[in-house]
Amino acid sequence: MSMKAAVRQVDSVTVVDVRGRITLGEDCKQLREVIRGELAKNHKNLLLNLADVTYIDSSGIGELVSAFTAISNQGGQLKLLNLTKRVHDLLQITKLYTVFDIHDDEATAISSFAAAS
Amino acid sequence: MTFRNLYCSVMAMVPTSSGTRSEARVVEVTLESTLKNVEVAEEVSRRVSVTAGFGSEAAFQIEMAVHEAVINAIYHGNKEDPGKSVILRFLIFEDRLEIHVCDQGRGFDPGVLPDPVAEENLMNASGRGIFLVRKFMDELNIETSANSGTEVTMIKRLNSEV
C-alpha cells in the first residue's frame, strides 16, 4: 500500500496520520509535500503519527530527518507518535532514536508541545 | 507489474567462496529498472526466505536488505533506464542464503560511503542503505566497475539472528 497522509489539528499541534509505506519515490515525495504544505500555512508544531506505517526504508528515514531539520530551521518542532516495533528498531540502529522526541500517547505528545513553547 | 517471466527454481551445482562446489537451489528474477519492481523483489525475497527456513524476523531483515540493494541497483545503478535490467539471484544452501543483485550501471566507489551513524553525518538525508544491509546480513561484498556495473553479494546464515 502506498503512503497516505491525513492531517488534523489538535489545539496548536498539526497531527499527520501516516499510513502505508514510506519508501523511495512517490511515498517520500508525498510526505515531503504534506509537511511543506503545513509549514507554508505557518503550522510549525507537527506530530507524525506512524502507527499505521507498514514499511519504512533508508529513504523514508532520510525523509523524517529532512522534515525534522526543515521544521527546526523554521523554529518549529517535529515529534513522532506510535512507532511500530520495526520503525523503532530502525531508528535505534541508525542512532536517530534520541534525535527525535518520541511518544506513545497522543495526549501526552500534544501537551509536550505546549510545555516546550 | 512489469515483471519478466524468468522466475524459476532449479537445483544447480554452484561454486562456493572457498572454491568447493555445493548443491544449492537457485531462484533468479530479471527486473526491469522501474521502482515498481522493488515490491516484486520483496515478495520473491519473502517466499525464498521462508523456503530456505528463516523465521519471520530474519525474513524481514533479508527483505529489507534486498529492498535496499534493489533500489540502489534500479535508482542509482541503472538510473531507472527501462533498457537496463537488474538480476536478482538467490542461492539457497542448507546452512545459508546467498543473494546477488547485479545492475548494468556505471559503478561507484564503495570506499567513499560516509558512516551514517558518525556524529557529523547523523542528520544527513541519505546514505543509510548499504549501512542497513550490513546490519541485517552476515556478509556483504560489493564488486563494482564502470564497465560491468555493480554486483552486490549478501549472505545470511540460517542460525544467525542479527
Prediction ipTM score:
0.90
* % of residues, chain A, pLDDT over 90: 91
Residue A97, pLDDT above cutoff 50: yes
Contacts of A85 in chain B (CB under 8 A): none
Report pLDDT for B16. Answer: 52
CATH superfamily of this structure's domain A4-110: STAS domain (3.30.750.24)
Q: At residue A114, does pLDDT exceed 90?
A: no
pLDDT at residue A117 tops 60: no
Nearest chain A Cα to B116, which residue? A94
Look at residue A99 and tell me whether its pLDDT is greater than 70: yes
pLDDT tops 70 at residue A55: yes
Q: For the residues A65-72, what does the mean pLDDT come to? A: 96
For all residues of chain A together, what is the average pLDDT?
94
CA B21, distance to chain mean position in Å, is 22
| Section A1-29 average pLDDT | 93
Question: A99–B123: do the CB atoms touch at under 8 Å?
Answer: yes
The answer to whether the CB atoms of B123 and A69 lie below 8 A apart is yes
d(CA B106, CA B149): 5
Asked whether the beta carbons of residue A59 and residue B124 sit closer than 8 angstroms, the reply is: no
The beta strands (E) that lie in B2-127 are given as 8-15, 21-32, 85-92, 96-102
CA distance to partner chain B, nearest, from residue A51 (Å): 18
Does A63 contact B at CB distance below 8 Å? yes
The minimal CB distance from B122 to the residues A57, A86, A99 is found for A99
Chain B hits for A66, CB-CB cut-off 8 Å, are 125
Task: Output the pLDDT for position B137.
Answer: 98
Q: Which residue of B has its CA nearest to A26?
A: B35
Which residues, 6 or more positions from B34, have their beta carbon under 8 angstroms from its beta carbon?
B2, B74, B80, B82
Instruction: Tell me what pLDDT residue B12 has.
Output: 54
Name the phi and psi angles at B134, rounded to 5. Answer: -60, -40
Residues of chain B with pLDDT under 70: 1-21, 160-162
Rounded to whole angstroms, the Cα distance separating B154 from B162 reads 14
Query: Mutation test of the interface with chain A: which of B45, B128, B134, choosing the one with the most A Cβ atoms within 10 A?
Result: B128
Contacts of B122 in chain A (CB under 8 A): 95-96, 99
Helix, strand, or coil here: A50? strand
Residue pLDDT, tens place only, B1-15: 444 434 444 445 555
Instruction: Please tell me the predicted confidence (pLDDT) of residue B159.
Output: 82
Q: Report CB contact under 8 Å: A93, B124.
A: no
How confident is the model over A49-53, as a mean pLDDT? 97
- pLDDT score for B20: 52
The model's pTM is 0.89
CATH of B8-114+128-157, one of 3.40.1360.10, 3.30.565.10, 3.40.47.10, 3.40.50.460: 3.30.565.10
Given pLDDT bands bounded at 50, 70 and 90, which one contains residue A49? very high
pLDDT of residue B110: 82
Dihedral sign for Cα A29, A30, A31, A34, please.
Answer: positive
Q: Would you call A25 an interface residue with chain B, using a CB distance cutoff of 8 Å?
A: yes
